[in-house]
Amino acid sequence: MLSQIAKDNLEKDEKVLGREWLKTYNNYFSDEENIQIFIKSVKPFLPNKELKILYVGSASGLLGEKLVDSLCKGELTLVDISQKHLDQNKNDKTRKICCDLLNMDLHEKFDLIIMRSSLDYFSSEKLQVTVLEIIKNHLEKDGLFINQPAYVSSLKDRDILSEIYNETEKIGNRYFQSADLDSIYRKAGLDKFKKIGAGKDLLLTEKEHIERYKIDKEDIDKIQKIIGKDSDSAQVTEHGYILKFEFPIFLAS
């Protein structure tokens, strides 16, 4: 059963479900350099054994498939709320489970759980703690959770960017990660937390949001007012705006 949050997220992302997902934001999430940065950051921390890997918020699972290929071993399970996303994965050896992360209970544990740019879809600290608790409950005792979130290092700027998404109805609610992420992890019982790498920054303009969400001039004007004049991660331009997200990689257990 899907939560209202999952239903809302599916509705907002309707235009990019399935085949179109990896083309979004100038192919950022299918970019080979970004994928290799993730793999090179993660591999030194992985035990030398056959790993059970769970990829949550996986879309088609491209990142997970590339990781398993690089390891030359491993059993991959994908979890996503969109069956259209999962249907894009044609690997018969990969298990695909369509379910809401807020309701996930797979009755098994994994050596490694990965997530990328998905935690922000749960638009409050309380919800994010709940999600992280669910993830922790699916980890083996010595298992690892590796997350690459959409991140804004300044708390003030994080709140500005979150407000932009929350106040623009066509886009949908978000609560982006920032310098307080370690405290959110601790509340979920994930005590061992450290940064192990960083992907390329993602720059978004009104053009990417027009393409993905069909925002209009009224939406753009509203976003420009939210940004104001004092932000390092968002700036107003003549025709719209530029938003900057960092993509650090964090390990926890």
Pairwise CA distance, residues 177 & 171, whole Å: 18
Residue 223 lies in a domain: no
Res 51: pLDDT: 98
Domain assignment of residue 117, yes or no: yes
**For residue 183, what pLDDT band results from cuts at 50, 70 and 90?**
very high
In a domain? residue 218: no
In this predicted structure, the answer to whether residue 205 has a pLDDT above a threshold of 80 is yes
* Contact (CB, 8 A) for 234 and 241: yes
Question: Within a domain: residue 56?
Answer: yes
pLDDT exceeds 90 at position 23: no
The helix or strand, by DSSP H or E, that contains position 50, with its residue range, turns out to be none
Residue 222 within a domain: no
Query: Residue 108 has which token pair?
Result: 């098994």
CA distance 205 to 70: 33
What does the pLDDT read at residue 162? 97
pLDDT in tens, 62-115: 999 999 999 999 999 999 999 999 999 999 999 999 999 999 999 999 999 999
Q: Classify residue 15: in a domain, yes or no.
A: yes
pLDDT band for 228, please (50, 70, 90 cuts): confident
Within a domain: 22? yes
- Strand, helix or coil at 77? strand
HEC per residue, 202-246: EEEEHHHHHHHHCCCHHHHHHHHHHHCCCCCCEEECCCCEEEEEE
Answer whether 139's CB lies under 8 Å from 114's CB. no
Residue at 68 is within a domain: yes
CATH code for the domain of 56: 3.40.50.150
Task: Provide the residue range defining the domain that includes 47.
Answer: 4-153+175-201+246-252
Distances (CA, A) of 166 to 57, 81, 193: 20, 21, 28
E strand or H helix that includes residue 78:
strand 75-80
Rounded CA-CA distance 105/99 in Å is 9
* Domain total in the chain: 1
Selection from 128, 120, 65 nearest residue 246 by Cα: 120
Query: What's the CA gap between 71 and 180, in Å, rounded?
Result: 32
pLDDT value of position 40:
98
Rounded distance, CA 32 to CA 157, Å?
Answer: 28
